[in-house]
Structure 1
Amino acid sequence: MTTKYDVKRELKTCYSPKNTDWELVDIPELRFLAIDGYGDPNTAAGYRHAVEALYAVAYTAKFASKGDLGKDFVVGPLEGLWWADDMDDFLARLKDNWRWRLLINVPDWITGDMIEDAKQAALTKKKMPAIPDVRSETLHEGTSAQVLHIGPYDDETPILTRLHREYLPANNLRETGLHHEIYLSDPRRTDPAKLRTILRQPVGAGDGDGS
């Protein structure tokens, strides 16, 4: 029996870290299903619709891959890139001003054409309004600071503040990409104190003056 591809098993450094303080890792080029949106993830209907659409397309692509190619995979965890026009709004948790790009990793053999076919099949079956907005995206973050956060999402502020005000300056690093979160726990079934979230920030060399 062919083993299912599972990104959490294949890329443990990226998807199964143990460190609870910031460490540098190298993230390879990865393929995703992606969808963009705006607003508070707790209250914006668009966020819920985006999550539903991503999973509908991901599972449709999975079953098509298994049936047509004989290749199966475990649907990856939900991920998100997060930012705001004013990044102070992001650190201050002013969620109505947040922008987001939700992601689900898919194997390299899932082509753009397969994703488009999966979208059409999922839309025919599910009638979800956000399915047409799902797209294929390739992301290569490279060198990144990464940490495993355990606890409620709203308790991320101290560890993110440490990243930006202490860790990056101390190591002469600067941000080179968007704040990235990977949700290893289902918030509907997990005690908030036990939520496991990977926090990731792509980085590059700073200006060299140590300031």
Structure 2
Amino acid sequence: MTEAKVDLKDDDVYRAHRGEFRTLTVPDRAYLAVDGHGDPNTQVFGDAVQSLYPVAFALKFASKAAGRDYVVPPLEGLWWAQDMDTFTRRRDKAAWEWTLLLLVPGWLGPDEVAAAVEGTRAKAPPRLDDVRVEVLSEGRCLQTLHVGPFDDEGPVLHRLHHEVLPGAGLSPTGRHHEVYLTDPRRTAPEKQRTILRQPVS
């Protein structure tokens, strides 16, 4: 009997509702990661995405061959800048720093990742040598669900940082984290669903 395919999105950390700011504790999690700078509507951003996914699928196929299949998780991203108003008000994309992420299931380790990277080399992803494993230790976080275009996130983030966090006696402690539950290539902008997460203390 074939073991059921695991959907990593069934985890509680992927639960969010529009208009609700929920506190949760996010355990340490390992990700495939690639760094970048500037506007996400550029080739640099596209190259990062095109380098992560081949490695993620190589990991999946190796895991499946070993008897444990899973759904490749959604793309995630860390975003920051010297002035956070570039996110919440001005949306100055040229000033943004980012790290794109794809979750590595807990039963796979560094050896499997290294083998997946080498197994992908023949496909020549543009930034394969920049792909690394990063472990996030976010701990206590506040998150909500944004529905709509990415460029409409500003008011939600402004409310989070200037109303919700101060009102709860909380302060941001880490980088802004987004989880892209829908594929923007296949989803109308008004239907895009994005988790907005902020580590807090």
Match of 2:4 in 1: 3
Match status 1:18 vs 2:20:
no
Taking the aligned partners of 1:194 and 1:135, their CA distance within structure 2 comes to: 31
Match of 1:121 in 2: 119
Report % sequence identity. 50
CA positional deviation for 1:19 = 4.4
Match of 2:170 in 1: 173
Match of 2:29 in 1: 30
Match of 1:192 in 2: 189
* Conserved 8 A contact 1:145-1:203: yes
Taking the aligned partners of 2:82 and 2:158, their CA distance within structure 1 comes to: 18
* Runs of 4+ with deviation above 3 angstroms: none
Taking the aligned partners of 1:19 and 1:5, their CA distance within structure 2 comes to: 26
Residues 63-103 of structure 1 deviation map (CA, whole Å, 9 limit, x = unaligned)? 11222x21111100000000012322233211011110000
Q: 1:55 aligns with which of 53, 56, 73?
A: 53
* Conserved 8 A contact 1:34-1:104: yes
CA positional deviation for 1:5 = 2.0
TM-score (norm 2): 0.95
Number of residues paired by the alignment? 199
* Conserved 8 A contact 1:80-1:103: yes
Gaps of 5+ in 1: 205-211
Q: 1:96 aligns with which of 79, 94, 97?
A: 94
Taking the aligned partners of 2:152 and 2:85, their CA distance within structure 1 comes to: 16
Q: 1:135 aligns with which of 132, 135, 157?
A: 132
Taking the aligned partners of 1:26 and 1:141, their CA distance within structure 2 comes to: 8
* Conserved 8 A contact 2:146-2:196: yes
Query: SS where residue 200 of structure 2 aligns?
Result: strand
Taking the aligned partners of 1:19 and 1:151, their CA distance within structure 2 comes to: 11
* Conserved 8 A contact 2:87-2:157: no
Letter paired with 1:145: L
Match of 1:153 in 2: 150
Match status 1:80 vs 2:81:
no
Residues 133-186 of structure 1 deviation map (CA, whole Å, 9 limit, x = unaligned)? 111111121111100111111111111101111111111100011000000111
Taking the aligned partners of 1:140 and 1:178, their CA distance within structure 2 comes to: 11
- CA root-mean-square deviation: 1.2
CA positional deviation for 1:41 = 0.4
* Conserved 8 A contact 1:54-1:134: yes
TM-score (norm 1): 0.90
CA positional deviation for 1:20 = 2.4
Taking the aligned partners of 1:17 and 1:166, their CA distance within structure 2 comes to: 19
CA positional deviation for 1:28 = 1.4
Letter paired with 1:156: E
CA positional deviation for 1:119 = 0.7
* Conserved 8 A contact 1:5-1:107: no
